Structure 1
């Protein structure tokens, strides 16, 4: 397997014959020059632009810049490959948009998923504050649109969760439509797959049938008793 375009610590891509594995771990924020502290849309685009096989993104991020997150979301949505996101730690805030852009989202054991309203800092006069408020309202509407499309939940439900700054367990993320699979369940003891049960039943039936045939083969018919006249004839 050949490593391509390695960025230290945060992002690595491995190109194989069947799939390309992209690891994203860190804060989502626009990168400048050779800054390797952050994940941004350009970096993801550079890693996947020439990829034609399936892509697996291993994600662990508490989020960051909403605009970079939305750009990554739209890039992944338009990418011709099948995109699978495996959440390795958490997908929170803007990092959830990476999940939303995928074809499949796998929540590994102990992972979490978090959504909330857009947030920023503001400074200035009344007009500046009002402009910031309008910007945040627009951002929230965009976020709600992404989550409703991803999950199938109503806009009111999504907005309520965003107000709460809602954290979901792996199972809850799947239950409410934000993810596809939660890999944290084990089969109950003494529970076998259906094909194995069929094999066991077949083997038991065959063993019983063999025992029945063997029992029939060992049955000896009792010897016929001779009459008194026959015994006298033999002695004479």
Structure 2
């Protein structure tokens, strides 16, 4: 029996005439060998280095390694293509850096966006723990800089949201500057109403044009006598002015 080759399912790049679509679904973490479980900066570079047209990234990720996330953020920010990130499920923790590096961020209906302080596992003596806390504070400050540049929100407000591990709805993500728009499916009846109104307008214009043409043709076939500028005087008027002759 032939062994089936394992195909990465988290990352799929589709090259098109107008845009390249890159699907990212999974945890952000450094990949080793052919590990298909994670998304890292090297994988993004391999997929997008040669791309010249517009890029759409379909993203669904709970986050992961902060340094891999920051590297992806800077790579996308410096990429010459116009990049749109479309959130398909969640964009949380380090995955929000991918959104921050894009030119546009589109939240689908029902998606969420979450930010929080950096998290790590601590082990060691009191000096080790102190150094770890200082490192975490530095990382949080770097994260704040990314969000501040993206959203225009104050550092105080952003820090409060991070302290509370805040989840945003799609509309809230747009409201606070993390995303640019919410994508929703247009209602069929709204589309039908638009087409019906447009069709009615076209019919009305055609009927009006036909009536105008018919009117012009009727006038040409039955010309009306032009009004006299000097109407003839009646016999009574002539008698009053003595203009009649015996």
Q: Same fold (TM over 0.5)?
A: yes
- Per-residue Cα deviation, 1:89-123 (whole angstroms, up to 9, x for no partner): 11000000000000011111211111011010110
- The aligned residue for residue 98 of structure 1 is 98
Kindly report which structure 2 residues correspond to 1:1-236, keeping only aligned pairs within 5 A, or say none.
8-184=8-184, 200=200
| Number of aligned positions between the proteins | 207
Give runs of ≥4 in structure 1 deviating > 2 Å: 184-193, 195-210
Gaps of at least 5 residues in structure 1 are 1-5, 218-236
Moved more, 196-205 or 15-24: 196-205
Paired residue for 2:240?
none
1:184 is displaced (CA, Å) by 2.8
Structure 2: which 5+ residue stretches go unaligned? 1-5, 219-246
| Secondary structure of the corresponding residue to residue 149 of structure 1 | helix
TM-superposition CA deviations, 1:48-72 (whole Å, max 9, x none): 1111111111100000000000000
Contact 1:29-1:68 within 8 A present in 2 as well: yes
**Structure 2 residue matching 1:76: 3-state secondary structure:** helix
Distance 1:37 1:205, change over 3 A: closer
- TM-score, normalised on structure 1? 0.79
Cα deviation per residue 1:176-235 (whole Å; 9 max; x = unaligned)? 111111013757977966x9868756866886996xx99xx9xxxxxxxxxxxxxxxxxx
Cα deviation, residue 33, structure 1: 1.3
CA distance in 1, matches of 2:99, 2:164: 20
Aligned-pair Cα RMSD in Å? 2.6
> Structure 1, residues 16-64: CA drift from partner, whole Å, max 9, x if none?
2211111100000001111111000011011111111111111000000
* Conserved 8 A contact 1:110-1:184: no
Range with bigger deviation, 195-204 or 169-178 = 195-204
SS in 1 for 2:94: helix
Mapped to 2, the partners of 1:80 and 1:207 lie a distance apart of 52
Write the distance in 2 (CA, Å) between the matches of 1:183 and 1:33: 37
Determine the C-alpha separation between the residues in 2 that align with 1:84 and 1:102.
Answer: 6
The answer (yes or no) to whether the contact 1:116–1:162 under 8 Å persists in 2 is yes
How many Å separate the matches in 1 of 2:190 and 2:12?
41
Q: TM-score, normalised by structure 2?
A: 0.76
